Structure 1
Amino acid sequence: MTGSPFVEATCFGIRRESWNVKTFRFRVANLEHGFDFAAGQYVTLGLELGAETIYRCYTVSCAPGSQGPGEFEITVKHSPEGLVSAWLHEALEVGVKIQVSRATGDFVLPEATSAPLLFIAGGVGITPLMSMARHLHAQGKFSDIQFLQFSRTPDDILFREELTEMGASAGGIVPHFFASRSSSEACQAGRLCPDLLNRTVPDWTTRTVLCCGPDSFMADMREAFVSNGGAPARFHQESFNVPEAPPLHVVKNTSVATVRLSDSGFDVVCEPGKTILDAVHASPHGVKIPNACRSGVCGTCKLRKLEGEVDMQHNGGITDEEVEEGYILSCCSIPLSNVIIEY
């Protein structure tokens, strides 16, 4: 992974999904190395906002192979207090170019897609599950999926018509819509709880669960699933948020280390206990490593370590195979010796 892991993409379409949610369509310009993704994976966007580049992770909401070469979609809720989502909704126009990383993430469909599945979506957390549903529906194979979407009001339900059409086909996807504050003819009143799950999907504890939504929503669903006899190994969730209590580093070395950037030849001084990301960003060389979560979750700051030893305590943003290949997450890697990284 020499140089920037990002490529240029151009916005070529914007579609409104609800009163505060839009889908943005992008096309990658250079397909020399391809631009593939699996249903459920996410990309990191790099946006030039003022004098700073801001990075945020968004799930690809379309199905693999459903768009043209190098094309993908993200579906974003407008949060006025959110710098990036506000810019996307209020300022992004067709023709504007951004930077995008390759797709990554292990919140994907299980290999045995013939097994009964339970999709649980909270709000805009529906996006990875929608990508999966679209992918399975496009394949034309029967999939036993109970798809429950929870929102505040019926107006907040996303992709209702499309999911209803899927449910009317013989594909096996059965949608259910719930709103916590009101109801309508097409949307029942209800909050996520074991009683609702028992009524809606009687065999819910025997299914493989894929859940995405706010952290508290996913925590409640996991607790309900496990406490009612569901196997923890069959519960899968996705989140880009910083963990509430990230594990503390236990640093084995308290000496100053040098981090060399192999591409530029710059040497960066890393004080004891500092991460490689913090040290590089604090250096006078002006080098910035793309990053988003700063907690070892998203994988945006992934780099290859060529030499040296680090103490890396991540939260799922890197695979064992990548670690074996020499990759590290610079946001949660503290040098234990002098280190050379490929950047």
Structure 2
Amino acid sequence: MLTGGAGITPAMSMLRYLYDMRATENEVIFIHSARTPDDIIFRDETLLMSKQSHTKVHYVCAQHAEPGMENGFLSKEILQRIVPDIHDSTILTCGPTPYMDAVKSMLNEIGVDMNNYHEESFGDPSKRFNPGGATPKTLDLGCSESTTKSDSPRFHEDNATSEIPDLAADTEDCTVRFSISNQTLTYSPQETLLQVATRAGIAVATNCQMGLCGTCKAKCTAGNVVMDTTEGLTDEDMSNGYVLTCVGRANGLIDLEL
């Protein structure tokens, strides 16, 4: 099993089943890629499985890899070293689209029979909000600091039973200002920041659209954002003012670096 970021979620269902059934007829090699060790989802649970079952667990961290982990990004060299019999293996993959594209490219280079390859995606890309005519420059990761400093934004995470708060009746207060694109739009109470950006033709990198992968995060420099979940954000992201646009809704006037 090869997973990246939030793509570990469906794999965990299979790993738990195999663990609960004490399955021994198949050897399972699980390789998970994450930004840092702190970003590894289900780390304790997968390590426990590796100690008490036939599942072998490996982690690949782009940064700050700990002893026993692979440092950097998944490569064909890492795959062949960890799975020497990969040509005889069934390969199950889930993760962001760029991750799965990279995995397929590696497997093709190694000469793996792609009939043995199976993947689960985050849904039909054609149905995602990211607009085809969006401005490419808004995806520039170098644009990280706004030229205008403002008060630190406030964040709130909804739970499953809470409702989206009533927004200010004044239209001027129901406004998102996109500082990089130099656009200002009003929004309706149910709209996510991703949907508002889409209406403005602003390109936002996006994958799961469930608040899990963190791909769509953007920096909020002023205002109050309500998020359904903060699963896709690290503590550092939160302290630096980042929000998840796919599950975040503005509450009043906000400034967003997009």
TM-score in terms of structure 1 length: 0.35
Larger gyration radius, structure 1 or structure 2: 1
Which of the pair is proportionally richer in strand? 1
Q: Report the TM-score, using the length of structure 2 for normalisation.
A: 0.46
- Whose RCO is larger (CA < 8 A, sep 6+)? 2
